[in-house]
Amino acid sequence: MSNSSGQSIPVNRFGLTEVYSSTPTKPEVDVVFVHGLNGDPHNTWTSENSKIFWPAQILPPILEDEKARVLVYGYDADVTSFTDGASRDKIHNHAEHLIAELSANRRIRKALERPIIWVAHSLGGLVVKRALIYSAEIRGMKIEHLRSVFVSTYGILFLGTPHHGSDVAQWGNRLEWICSVMLPKKVMDSQPQLIDALKTNNETLQNIDRQFIQILNRFHIYFFHEGKPTNLKGTLKFIVDETSASPTVQDVERAVIQADHSHMCKFENENAPGFDLVVEGIQRYAEDAPAKIRRNWDAENQERTTAKQAEAAELYSGTSCLKLDVKNTPPQKHTPQSDSNSTFGNSSLGREQRALPSAEGQVEFDKQFVVEDVTNEKEMA
């Protein structure tokens, strides 16, 4: 495999591989490709005829002015990732790994705030949606770098991804058809239990669909559906039809690619059906993204600052109340007995026991310490 300059680039089967980066200038946008069921970070995007790997060999020159970096992501996309149901949510595991890897890759390069554009084929779109849902839900300060993917995402191009999952039976049929296309025939024939699993109530996929709707308006979305049916055992079918792949949603772009489901993401040259549509979308998003994502980060940083100030104010308020309570508490009269039981008394207890004060002694010591602290503050004032 070679890039636009003819240099060979090995693509990792799993994880991220950078297949192009603008030089000598620093990239201003990341374009990330995610394959689907039984896919591969190289083969999914490679023409079977010309062997052209278009993310590395055709796309880079077109994105030269936009100063882009192109990455492909690979993961173990076996059928159980999409059929095991909510109790064994492997899609969530893939999503977590994707967010962790992309965040690490960008943080090392001091690029957490760089805009992101996603290109996803088929069920890879579900992994991208689940990843963004996960990233959006993060609020903890210790892992806030993982939220950067959500904040930095500008747009997503979905190629043949099933989006409407309210009909349980239809979900099963679509997944069965996708498997028939993407999995070797011998696997389908030798594992009939897969068909049964695909037709069950897959709550995981429906939940992703519902949750993503809550954040969809934040992104620029481009839906693509297949324009040619696939031959399934002598019957022509649209694996993911227009209604599912390109639902009518306000302010969302829709287009058809005149290819079947498995070939709609493989462009053998610049004249291939759908190439101009997809690449123009990527280019336009890459051009418009920097300004929008800068505004996203301005708002995000302001929100984080406000949250930290509120937390600090709450901690300070709690400390002040503690000091006030202790100040207004009259000192208790000491007795020889209580003194003898305190850490500083003349107790006849052993060394180890005297190191631990009694409950009364510890409370008295704490009060003296805090009252003294309050008195010192007054004197300093």
pLDDT in tens, the chain (381 residues): 445 544 567 899 999 999 999 888 899 999 999 998 888 999 999 999 999 999 999 999 999 999 999 999 999 876 655 554 433 457 888 999 999 999 999 999 999 999 999 999 988 999 999 999 999 999 888 898 999 999 999 999 999 998 864 444 465 566 666 666 655 554 444 444 444 444 444 566 778 888 999 999 999 999 999 999 988 778 888 888 898 899 888 999 999 999 999 999 999 999 999 999 999 999 999 999 999 999 999 999 998 888 888 878 877 776 655 555 545 555 555 554 444 444 334 444 343 443 444 444 444 444 443 334 434 444 444
What is the pLDDT at residue 103? 97
What is the pLDDT at residue 196? 45
User: How much is the pTM?
Assistant: 0.75
The β-bridge relationship of strands 68-74 and 15-21 is: antiparallel
Sequence-distant (≥ 6) Cβ neighbours of residue 131 within 8 angstroms? 94, 95, 96, 98, 99, 149
- Tally of CA atoms within 13 A in the half-sphere of 268 that contains its CB: 9
What is the pLDDT at residue 173? 62
Closest CA relative to residue 160, chosen from 208, 121, 209, 216:
121
Q: Counting every residue, how long is the chain?
A: 381
What is the pLDDT at residue 181? 64
What is the pLDDT at residue 198? 43
Q: How many other C-beta atoms are found inside a 10 Å radius of the C-beta of residue 117?
A: 29
What is the pLDDT at residue 365? 40
Query: Apex CA 107: angle with CA 106 and CA 110, to 5°?
Result: 90
Q: Is the separation of the CB atoms in 102 and 149 below 8 Å?
A: yes
What is the pLDDT at residue 179? 64
